Amino acid sequence: MGNPQQAEDGAPPGAPRPSAGPERGAEQGTRARVARLILEHGPITATTLGERLGLTPAAIRRHLDNLMSEGMVEAREHRSRGRRGRGRPARVFVITEAGRDAFVHGYDDLAASALRFLAEKAGPQAVAEFARRQVADLERRYRPLLAEVPPQQRVRLLAEALSNDGYAASAGEAPAPGGGDQLCQHHCPVAHVATEFPELCEAEVEVFARLLGTPVRRLATIAHGDGVCTTHVTPRDLAAADPRPAGAAAGPHGTEKNTRTATHRERATSREGRLSPGGSA
């Protein structure tokens, strides 16, 4: 597994650290809170961070500067949608790959090597089947929870369940025209593996569609370089639909996802040099 860049005391921002004195301990504890808030709610502005943590602008900037120097956080320009505001774009902060590593990934090189071997010996269909089996347990555990609440509450409850499993998820209204809900996952335990094998992401999306009983569409993924895994939940039949049986179709996103899988696998093939470029489908 990769070794994330660590702070000067050797511990990642999300981990408890031994205190070398009251002031130093408080400083490190606050920095860890800043890092976790960026992980769970990024991209986020310094102003919002300061408001949520009760810190002055000078204090929040000091913590951000330290986190950026450690390689845990990076700054980006905010890409607003809709009407453009005047002046300079807002500056937002997101967690880096090193920062995510500090919060512990469940899979890494060994899992990726195993999936490469599976793809070489049995083909991409075997990888897709493996991915579906991996999320089957999640579906079995979540289905009874979501079946007990009205359809309008399922996205929020799904986000809570995912957060309990370490995905740092949140839910809210979708900003895009047409309404619906938006499910955001700010942490992905399999991001490194899913970079090469997007079947893991696709199987997860299929489960979401079945659990919510309505079509969903993945808009962004951490594995593809986005700061957050973002899923749009269509409002169509959301208020009336019950969760579909486990084997039901996940919605009309399959063709788009299969195309993306093939394209991404071609990139992974040329990059890794270990997967045969077969599968022109």
Q: Which CATH architecture has domain 22-102?
A: Orthogonal Bundle (1.10)
What would the pLDDT profile of 106-148 be if each residue is shown by its tens digit?
446 778 899 999 999 999 999 999 999 999 999 999 999 999 9
Question: Of the segments 47-51, 88-92, 100-104, which one has the largest average pLDDT value?
Answer: 47-51
* 114 vs 131: CA distance, rounded Å: 12
φ and ψ at residue 182, rounded to 5 degrees: -130, 125
Could you tell me which residues are beta bridge partners of residue 217?
232
d(CA 212, CA 226): 24
CATH 3.30.300 is the classification of domain 109-272: no
Task: Please report which confidence band the pLDDT of residue 275 belongs to, taking 50, 70 and 90 as the band edges.
Answer: very low
Amino acid 18: pLDDT: 42
Query: What is the enclosing helix (H) or strand (E) of 218?
Result: strand 216-220
Provide the residue ranges of all domains of the chain, joining segments of one domain with +: 22-102, 109-272
DSSP per position, 58-111: HHHHHHHHHHHHTTSEEEEE----SSPPSSSPPEEEEE-HHHHHHT--S--HHH
